[in-house]
Amino acid sequence: MHTLLPTSIVGSLPKPSWLAEPETLWSPWKLQGDALVQGKHDALRIAVHEQRQHGIDIISDGEQTRQHFVTTFIEHLTGVDFEQRETVRIRDRYDASVPTVVGAVSREKPVFVEDAKFLRQQTDQPIKWALPGPMTMIDTLYDRHYKSREKLAWEFATILNQEARELQAAGVDIIQFDEPAFNVFHDEVQDWGVAALERAAEGLRAETAVHICYGYGIKANTDWKATLGPEWRHYEKSFPLLQQSTIDIVSLECHHSRVPMDLIELIRGKKVMLGAIDVASETIETPEDVADTLRKALKFVAPDKLLPSSNCGMAPFSRNVARGKMKALTAGADIIREELTAARP
Ligand SMILES: [Zn+2]
């Protein structure tokens, strides 16, 4: 476990082929009933083992117990009807058939808390748990009840806060909210997005993180990225607001992206979970590739606030590619740790 430049993955890892169809997002489970419960736990054990084996410092569940990072959480809430579906545009990018909010939303019982307790039993290293952010949640639903994105986001923030407090009690060290929608709806981020995020994180002793990215390496996202021009300045809108917020860590996509590195300056003082692994390409980075990205970032973030990570989740990869990328992340961070240690008087 490194205290300098502790590494982590953003979220998902590929699932074993006996649990779900490999290299597929939203892949249906191959097991049922008790066998599925056991299978998810076995997959989680493997995910922990592989992270530790490849030198990852902050351990995640690899999202082995969930089908999708947003939908699985919403499935456990009341007020949402999964039978009534409407087609909506997700993050202004692609159409999807989504469930409908038909009444007041609420969380009758914990969603991921038992899984988090199980993860806690597997390792003494710090653990991180990801939840969807309020704005990203409302963007994957059709709302017939509140008829206001802000109101629905606020309700979800309250629910997320309940879940986050119980995850913290289960021993989770870092609670991460995934908000890719922050890179799309800039006016809403300013009007109520960051406030809703802070509401979700309110009163937590655990460290809190927000992950904002340009999405998984799927076609709808890579096509969208191709239209974004030579410089991706989207973080310029959210970072100054996050710098002033109560959130401790900002997770961003960086490696092989067109995000200008100096935008990190806008979150000066916050911890930066820096994407130094590309999730849109199966090519495994060399340790020097990773080190190069980290070195450039260190112009804008203090060494004790830099957390090397991946750009986003790795679910769509083969397991070999994911393993190779974790190894590269560790080896790249090692290079920079040595440089930083050697530079000390
Ligand atoms: Zn992401």
CA 314 to ligand 1 centroid distance, Å = 9
CA 214 to ligand 1 centroid distance, Å = 6
CA 341 to ligand 1 centroid distance, Å = 31
Which has the closest alpha carbon to 253: 216, 207, 285, 208? 216
How do strand 94-107 and strand 77-90 relate by DSSP bridges? antiparallel
CA 34 to ligand 1 centroid distance, Å = 31
Which has the closest alpha carbon to 5: 274, 260, 242, 267? 274
In terms of Cβ atoms closer than 10 Å to its own Cβ (0-12, 13-18, 19+), residue 31 is middle
Q: Is the pLDDT of residue 241 over 90?
A: yes
**pLDDT given for residue 221 in this prediction:** 85
CA 179 to ligand 1 centroid distance, Å = 8
**Which of the listed CATH numbers 3.40.1440.10, 3.20.20.210, 3.40.50.720, 1.10.3720.10 matches domain 33-343?**
3.20.20.210
**pLDDT given for residue 223 in this prediction:** 87
* pLDDT confidence tier of residue 215, bands split at 50, 70 and 90: confident
CA 336 to ligand 1 centroid distance, Å = 24
CA 69 to ligand 1 centroid distance, Å = 10
Q: List, for residues 27-66, the tens digit of each pLDDT value.
A: 899 999 999 999 999 999 999 999 999 999 999 999 999 9
CA 311 to ligand 1 centroid distance, Å = 6
**pLDDT given for residue 151 in this prediction:** 98
Averaged over 157-174, what is the pLDDT? 98
CA 275 to ligand 1 centroid distance, Å = 10
Averaged over 176-198, what is the pLDDT? 97
Q: What is the pTM of this model?
A: 0.96
Q: Who surrounds ion ligand 1 at CB < 5 A?
A: 213, 312
Q: Is the pLDDT of residue 12 over 90?
A: yes
**β partners of residue 89:** 95
How do strand 271-275 and strand 249-252 relate by DSSP bridges? parallel
CA 320 to ligand 1 centroid distance, Å = 20
Per-residue H/E/C for 211-268: EECCCCCCHHHHHHHHCCCCCCCCHHHHHHHHHCCCCCEEEECCCCCCCCHHHHHHHC
* pLDDT confidence tier of residue 25, bands split at 50, 70 and 90: confident
CA 178 to ligand 1 centroid distance, Å = 7
CA 146 to ligand 1 centroid distance, Å = 27
Largest CA-CA distance found in the chain, in angstroms, rounded: 65
| Domain locations in the chain as residue ranges | 33-343
Highest mean pLDDT among 95-104, 227-236, 328-337: 328-337
CA 252 to ligand 1 centroid distance, Å = 8
